[in-house]
A and B are shown apart, each in its own frame.
Chain A
């Protein structure tokens, strides 16, 4: 073993290398490692949270779906009910209108009948008077027997 200045040179080199390593190598790599560790931890936590949220959302979606179905069924039921009601109302209205029309027609018919009967009655009276005139001629005065004629007319 032959010691010489290599010993000193080696020590200086060593100190320089350690200094360089401490300043430019260790801290950036270590901080990158720490940051990545944190990122991964955060990522895992976020994934967990996401999964949980997904479950909640799925549950919520199911609830919404059920609710929507219920609402739809209700709406349909109401619509059906309403339709039935409308049909009923229409039926009633049509029936009433028909009855009203019928009544009006009946009234018209009655009126016409009365009018025809009246005129017929007058004509029969006139005919009867004319007939009687022809039979009686002079003996019967239309004016004198007006009462009688009126009586007759009412009896017809």
Chain B
């Protein structure tokens, strides 16, 4: 595939660009591959044709590929589990129900192990986080050129198939969880208690500005590290797949070597995607547990 592109750099850039839908302002100059310039006579809702355009669309643009794949995978997860839930019986479980029960027991054990309070939200939240992140990561195992090729056939300039390599997706998750952490911190400890936790430790009360700074950084670091860890791992993994895929453009020996490498990396990646989903889920539970607990 790499041969279609002017350079390896362009190939890589192309693979790392989301399919962004947004509005370009009136008078915007669009540059195409051949250096032609098109000036927009009015503000236009369109797909970005390069990274600069995506950037110029500002905040009110949507990465259609990330949204479509993440929603699709989320619906797949909920559909499978809902089907199992509808047919859930106390008899001997078969097939899908077996798998779903296995996952649910696993999540339930994790939640019981890490979360020491009563909250009916946490276990379903953990299940959703785990399965959704896992499925989004799983898209990384689809060879990097397949779906973008299909996309280009139907006229999509870009298609990034792994939603968890889009920081919008990982931050969307972690910020929602952060809001939950803040909500339960205030709900369980009261605004005063929560403030005291941030301001009156670890140093004595009169040093509260330093405490506030330390604890504030610690608090902000939670969602930041949560999302950046997932994003960084998946982005790096995807990058390596792309670099390996570059080899397919070389000689057949290099291509064969690339095939072997891709297989090896994919096998290793199975571990990484599961582990990242698990870490994301466990940290979610732990953060919520901390939000429920009084500090001493």
Contacts and interface: CB of A to CB of B under 8 A. Distances in A.
Contacts of B132: 14, 17
Contacts of B294: none
Given A26-B123, A33-B104, A7 B85 contact: no
Interface string B80-115: 011011101111000000001100110010000000
A25 B85 contact: yes
B89 A5 contact: no
Interface stretch (B7-15, B162-170, B205-213): B162-170
Contact of A29 (B62, B70, B78, B81): B81
A17 B78 contact: yes
Given A22-B125, A28-B85, A13 B63 contact: no
B61 A14 contact: no
A122 to B, nearest CB: 120
A14 B71 CA distance: 9
A101 interface: no
B90 A4 contact: no
Given A6-B63, A6-B66, A26-B124, A32 B173 contact: no
B59 A5 contact: yes
A20 B168 CA distance: 22
A4 B61 contact: yes
Contacts, number: 123
B104 A6 contact: no
A14 B172 contact: yes
Contact of A22 (B22, B62, B105, B124): B124
B86 A28 contact: yes
- Does more than half of chain B's interface fall in helix, strand or loop, or is it mixed? helix
A143 interface: no
A4 B172 contact: no
Contact of A3 (B84, B100, B171, B176): B171
Nearest to B172: A10
Given A6-B169, A26-B127, A13 B71 contact: yes
Interface in A1-27: 1-11, 13-15, 17-18, 20-22, 24-26
Contacts of B108: 30
A127 to B, nearest CB: 126
Interface stretch (B50-58, B196-204, B246-254, B258-266): B50-58
B120 A22 contact: yes
- Does more than half of chain A's interface fall in helix, strand or loop, or is it mixed? helix
A91 interface: no
A5 B61 contact: yes
Q: Of residues B20, B84, B172, which shows the largest number of chain A Cβ atoms within 10 Å of its Cβ?
A: B172
B279 interface: no
B176 A9 contact: no
A6 B62 contact: yes
A73 B85 CA distance: 66
A36 interface: yes
Contacts of A5: 59-62
Contacts of A6: 18, 61-63, 66-67, 166, 168-169, 172
Interface string B116-145: 000011011101100010000000000000
Interface of B: 18, 20, 22, 51, 54-55, 57-63, 66-67, 70-71, 74, 77-78, 81-82, 84-86, 88-91, 100-101, 104-105, 108, 120-121, 123-125, 127-128, 132, 166-169, 171-173, 175-176
The list of the 3 closest CB pairs from A to B, nearest first, reads A10-B172, A6-B168, A32-B88
6 contacts: A1-B167, A2-B51, A4-B63, A10-B173, A33-B104, A39-B90
